Amino acid sequence: MANVSVATVSLVLNDKPSRISPATRDKIKKIAEEQHYVPNVAARGLVGSSTNTIGVIISDLGEPINAATTRALSELISRTPYDLVLYETFVDWRQGLYNKIGREGRVDGIIHKAFDLKPEDKDFVKSIGVPVVIYENDMDWIDCVALDNDNACSMAIKYLLRKGHEHIGVISCRQDSDTMNLRLAAICRSLAEAGKSLRDEQIYFVDRFTPEHGKLAADYFHNLADKPTAIFSIAGDYVATGFVTKIQQLGYHVPDDFAVVGFDDLWFSSYVQPKLTTLRQPLEQMTKAAIELLLQRFEQPDKSFETRTFKPELVIRDSA
């Protein structure tokens, strides 16, 4: 349409330096705009051995923390030269997903919100053949963005102890997760430092991170003979809101009968009644760090692996 060579069009649309006249450049860009031209990413990848695409692996987007993380990553990636491909997992991501991504060759790198990643996954993750950044976990054999779970849980427990709570219950998750185990260990250590302990019957394990499972936790603590006076939901705000709703339906008052602390500080935490005291993840900083680590790995494939750890903030509201 511009009556020039393919090479000339390529040089102009990719803003490559050349001796092409300004008039020709303007004509090509105008035609591209009129025709709503966009580059074919797959074809570009075949020519340049790069797809200009970042993959994000994340579990169930019905969980608000996962949806919020995806939205933050998507917004930040849109400010880079890269496009995003989302891989949502509803089953164990080890069951073929990494092999599929490796075979397809659609992405230059991966950001994986791998809450359940374990040290024995090392060879499996490296087999994908592209750089990977692990989000919300901490491993020394790969680039990671982590939350200081120890500090987070210590802050929450010390706050509840200062408020006079002698017996603290915990809502955790049944998933085999090192992150959850770290949170439980931090709680036990903080209680031990105060001369207290966490008994087995004071822990309720949910199967999923949903309000419905938070309601099941409320039923459990309601029927417990020796009830705690405070509940710390390390399974997150979504579960905590279900607990708060059901425990009040059962006739208890929050925080008078049960003080409640959540985890994540999701958008709805300040809208539930009473407003939820919780631990805020610095979502924007963490997602920005994940993208920075991946882009750095593109530029420096052989650099040492790095973990960036972020401290949470205890946001005090009405529930505790």
Q: What is the CATH number of domain 51-147+283-311?
A: 3.40.50.2300
Domain ranges for the chain, please list them.
6-38, 51-147+283-311, 149-280
Note whether 51-147+283-311 and 149-280 share their fold.
yes
Q: What is the CA radius of gyration of the chain?
A: 24
Taking Cα atoms as reference points, which of 58, 115, 148, 88 lies closest to residue 235?
115
pLDDT tens string, the chain, 320 residues long: the values are 999 998 899 889 888 878 899 999 999 999 998 887 776 655 555 555 678 999 999 988 888 999 999 999 999 999 999 999 999 887 677 877 888 888 888 899 999 998 888 889 998 888 888 999 999 999 999 999 999 999 999 999 999 999 999 999 999 998 778 889 999 999 999 999 999 999 999 999 999 999 999 999 999 999 999 999 999 999 999 999 999 999 999 999 999 999 999 999 999 999 999 999 999 999 999 999 999 999 999 999 999 999 999 999 999 999 99
The two three-digit tokens of residue 267, written as one number: 């958008």
Q: Give the pLDDT score at 19.
A: 87
The residue type of 286 is M
Region label for 156, one of left (φ > 0), alpha (ψ between -120 and 50) or beta (otherwise) = alpha
Give the number of other CB atoms < 10 A from CB of residue 155.
Answer: 19
The two three-digit tokens of residue 86, written as one number: 């989302």
Q: Give the pLDDT score at 41.
A: 53
What 3-state DSSP class applies to 1?
A: coil
Pick the CATH number of 149-280 from 3.40.50.150, 3.20.20.370, 3.30.930.10, 3.40.50.2300: 3.40.50.2300
